[in-house]
Chain A
């Protein structure tokens, strides 16, 4: 019962709306009871037509049919409103929870899963699950109730005839099981293929500049063609049990089986009427009952499809839910109870708000080694950064500088060795409060498609106009912003594409500064700004960094030289440390770096 286990997660959600669903089920029953009355009156009317009947009597029967139909209509309306409504609520809950869960997943997860794929699960698959929860449940309930009620009344009229009429039901249920399984399997594949297409399109659009620059359009189209051909042909058409073939047979088959039942009724029921064992009214009523089954039966095909699709999709969504955040708070955090964000329905929880009193900012790496997967990237790092000090890190590309920062900010978890802040391992701090103490300018800038103001104020709860202004000023982005027609309200494109490289980077610096952090980390954050601006930012930073622990990563001597200590990383190990002057005297990597950069300048100046 694989299906049941994939749907297990939904139980809690469904349970939340138990009362409403029960009410819905009640409406299903009542509407069916009301519906069943109509063939009764039909029978009475027809039977009495044989004898002598007054027109008033006929009118009364007709009126009763309408009255019961109105009753049925009311309950049908309630049933839909309640049950479809509940499915919408559950969809809302589920989607919120999914996003909340995504918010907690670590970098490694996003590295291993494509954006397009995750999106496809959160939207396309979510929709399939919603269909299962809404029409899926509603029509199943309706079909079941109707079967029972109708069966009862049919049996009441004639047992054998009922057996004849429903002789095809076992075949129907076999067909349902068989086709259901096939649809499930096919649909899983189709959703996978769909995900692949999404991911492909997503990457293509995100990298459109490169594609245009290298005139890769036709090659991209070719690849896309192949992928979407696969999507339709593999899954829909060619495989010996392509969905189309199955689906094409399934639907008409249900109708046909039911129709055959109808013929049985005509044939056998007709004989019974002739033999006088049932009245013509019974016969007509019987036909009407069978007619009442026809729609639910046909709906059954549809419902099976919905349920199979829904459960296949739920399985795919479960993949996301089942991913455990690699990095999360220890149970024994410094703060006992992170306050929980409560939604109105009381379902979601996200730890919120800094709970930690300000840290001092002393950082220590102790025997730290690290490998992303297999290959060592950091080796036995021992480094203590006293609070308020400014340390710089230089080193070749790929020497592990950013990795060190990743570990400090806990984007990755250190496994070998320890990182301490104020003497406590960072794992002991709640993640939120740890990060809230850091102002981090990542090496690669990511901005959101929002206003410049919102982007700068991104990392703080509330930001006043003056705070944004001040941060922008310190990061030297203010003159640029003032040059834009809409100033701070200027909208920027996704990832910041409508800003120049340097403007993006400076916005990111402002975003870090506005947090007023105890620990400031700049990972090569001046790589895209000119010397003049760099100089001005550094001057501003020197002021800000006073009293804060700061880590500056750069390839430029000019950026790092004023630091209290300069660390040279090589292949993941610290090979030199000391002040600018000390390192120059030592004549190692740093001195060489200095000479090279100096030499360039001299050459240029000569």
Chain B
């Protein structure tokens, strides 16, 4: 269960992170400002209550002034109603703003994810990335709505109380405040305890997510291979890690709240003891004493709440750290500064001494790779050849516009890699790849990719309909074009028999279609996009011969005047190629036409012999 290492967490409060987080408030500064203003007013009102009680007691109750008492009560009620209104407006504004910020953030993360290079996705489980867009963002929401502003409100209330009690009676206020160091002590201990367990909780959650995602998608394999018990045991272990980490944090949180409660009682006791003495000595009024007691209750309430707030803060820091890490992940395959936009793509492709590796060899250096998902280091002149786990070695070839080129070779030879490089899914370490004479790294990325119709070896369908899977989100693909593409890949008959035809529902990953049918839809998808060049990576490997032959005719027609690269293990499927490239262990071994290669008696010849021999034997018998 690798790939899951959740990054170690930093501090619970990181001013750098916080500053960056607050930047998201900037577009809503008016709202935030308003909310703060309202909070300040509301806090002020909150502080008034006990003071009114004091006035009520000292001026009116003690002197038996009914009129006055009525007046105070009336003022008090108005203050409460005003407080309610302010509170309502504040919550409303902050929730609304919070949602908007979340929306912005979510979109930013998602957008960034769309731009990240494939190397990133090779290393980060989908389940974990999902968490970034969903749960982590929600955690921040809490910070913005319940955290930032309320925290400020709390601070204002505390300040207000301190001011008033010192105004009421300086000495008693000093005595009451003498417990504050205790609060600090408790908080420090709590912080240390809470942090470690929190980190473990986060790691466990990330693991649970990644594990679930993978096992839900691979459930039938789990079941077919009787792996349920083992899977369950693995899950139980992760789940148990989550449990114990949480139980540890329960301890820290359970202590904090009651401890503050005790300190608060201590303060009240001090007020009674010392303040009571003052009352006896007529240095303090009854009302003031009562107000003091009420104030000290109100003083400690937000502090007792602090553990909750701390939790919010801590979660928010952890989430934002992970989110920012994702956002900071460099997009090293991106639109060049000044992209070359070709007017028309001819389709001349050239590889010049291309060297490529997915990974570095040195395990020490590599370890920084998978977990943190650091980008592959860019081309570095000092890197030595031996440092890389080369998948392509010094590959050079040229495809003229309009040519059909076949790539053959043993499995794992690097054929798919070749096409991925051409699409600029990965950048190469050495050499050059040219399209129409331009290094593809200087070309407009969108234009480059759009010029290729790519049938990937690994078929992927989205949930939606058959039509939506052929069209994807590309505007301008007409119904007509979809039908035509379906016709070309011989899907027409099948689709028309479906109850809903082209709008028949396709489930996640196309799970209700046969493998061949999925492949055909993916094929139709590439054709419907009417590309300049076509890349077919084992595009008909799961399709029966009959269909394959029919498609081939259609393709041959379509590819007139377009460049195409065809990868196939069945040599028969590539017979019409203008050129055949034979790859072996990441190198090009042979290039030539079918006849030339046969004459050469190399790898191709051997491969061919193998297939031919297969067929010959029974032929002799018939």
Contacts and interface: CB of A to CB of B under 8 A. Distances in A.
Interface string A490-511: 0101110111111101100001
B170 interface: no
B130 A593 contact: no
B410 A532 contact: yes
B258 A402 contact: no
Given A372-B512, A396-B547, A558-B614, A435 B224 contact: yes
Nearest to B571: A604
A442 interface: yes
A138 to B, nearest CB: 11
B515 A402 contact: yes
Given A217-B114, A273-B61, A350 B216 contact: no
Interface string B100-133: 1011001100110111001001110111011001
A545 interface: no
B594 A604 contact: yes
Given A76-B261, A81-B250, A458 B474 contact: no
B622 A584 contact: yes
Nearest to A99: B235
Size range of the chain A interface in the assembly: 35 or more
Contact of A280 (B57, B423, B499): B57
Given A65-B272, A76-B258, A247-B91, A601 B224 contact: no
A508 B151 CA distance: 56
Given A396-B544, A396-B546, A212 B408 contact: no
Contacts of A480: 411-412
A100 B126 CA distance: 22
Chain A interface helix/strand/loop/mixed: helix
A418 B36 CA distance: 73
Contact of B250 (A85, A211, A222, A499): A85
A46 interface: yes
B216 A266 contact: no
Interface stretch (A181-189, A199-207, A382-390): A199-207
B153 to A, nearest CB: 12
The winner among A88, A95, A115, A451 for most chain B CB atoms within 10 A is A115
B290 interface: yes
Interface stretch (B15-23, B345-353, B446-454): B446-454
Contact of A531 (B121, B219, B549, B607): B607
B423 A212 contact: yes
B511 interface: yes
Interface in B46-86: 49, 52-53, 56-57, 60-61, 64, 66, 69-70, 72-73, 76-77, 80-81, 83-86
Interface stretch (B240-248, B322-330, B374-382, B392-400): B240-248
B134 A263 contact: no
B255 interface: yes
B408 A530 contact: yes
Nearest to A439: B225
Interface stretch (B160-168, B204-212, B434-442): B204-212
B569 interface: yes
Contacts of B222: 103
Given A46-B289, A208-B118, A398-B494, A110 B297 contact: no
B107 A221 contact: yes
Given A501-B458, A530-B410, A601-B615, A214 B253 contact: no
Contacts of B621: 581
Contact of B53 (A100, A266, A354): A266
A365 B558 CA distance: 44
B483 interface: no
A240 interface: no
Contacts of A252: 83-88, 91
A471 interface: no
A438 interface: yes
Contact of A497 (B73, B122, B514, B529): B122
Interface stretch (B6-14, B24-32, B187-195, B263-271): B263-271
A561 B618 contact: yes
Given A55-B277, A206-B126, A209-B425, A115 B508 contact: yes
Given A103-B222, A209-B458, A266 B76 contact: yes
B265 A38 contact: yes
Given A256-B81, A528-B569, A237 B268 contact: no
Interface string A210-241: 11111111111111110011001000110000
B606 to A, nearest CB: 7
A73 interface: yes
Interface string A282-298: 01100110010001000
Nearest to A295: B301
A597 B494 CA distance: 23
B219 A105 contact: yes
B581 interface: no
A502 B567 CA distance: 13
B424 to A, nearest CB: 9
Nearest to A49: B279
Contact of A397 (B224, B472, B514): B514
A267 B272 contact: no
A473 interface: no
A503 B114 contact: no
A202 B217 CA distance: 11
B87 A503 contact: no
Contacts of A580: 618
Given A213-B454, A397-B543, A77 B134 contact: no
B103 A440 contact: no
Contacts of B265: 38, 65-66, 68-70, 72
Nearest to B221: A446
A223 B110 CA distance: 11
A110 B145 CA distance: 37
A333 interface: no
Contacts of B103: 228-229, 232
Contacts of A438: 224
B449 A213 contact: yes
B66 A274 contact: yes
A397 B545 contact: no
B516 A398 contact: yes
B123 to A, nearest CB: 7
Contact of A62 (B102, B272, B301): B272
Interface string A58-79: 1101110110111011101100
A228 B358 CA distance: 35
Contact of A215 (B227, B289, B450): B450
Contact of A288 (B215, B242, B293, B411): B293
Contact of A69 (B262, B417, B446): B262
Given A398-B494, A596-B545, A99 B258 contact: no
B310 interface: no
Interface in B167-226: 205, 208-209, 212-226
Contacts of A577: none
Nearest to A85: B250
A22 B103 CA distance: 44
B612 A605 contact: yes
Contacts of B224: 409, 411, 435, 438, 440, 442, 459
A371 interface: no
Nearest to B446: A215
Given A46-B289, A263-B77, A271-B69, A529 B261 contact: no
Contacts of B235: 96, 99
28 contacts: A42-B272, A58-B273, A103-B231, A107-B219, A118-B216, A197-B106, A197-B134, A198-B130, A201-B129, A201-B133, A202-B126, A203-B462, A210-B460, A214-B529, A215-B446, A255-B84, A263-B76, A267-B69, A267-B73, A397-B517, A440-B225, A442-B221, A449-B125, A459-B226, A495-B217, A530-B569, A593-B545, A605-B598
Which 10 pairs of residues, A with B, have the shortest CB-CB distance?
Answer: A502-B411, A219-B473, A69-B265, A397-B516, A252-B87, A600-B572, A459-B225, A256-B84, A73-B258, A267-B73
Given A59-B273, A202-B130, A531-B607, 6 more contacts: A46-B289, A63-B269, A248-B92, A284-B290, A291-B297, A352-B229
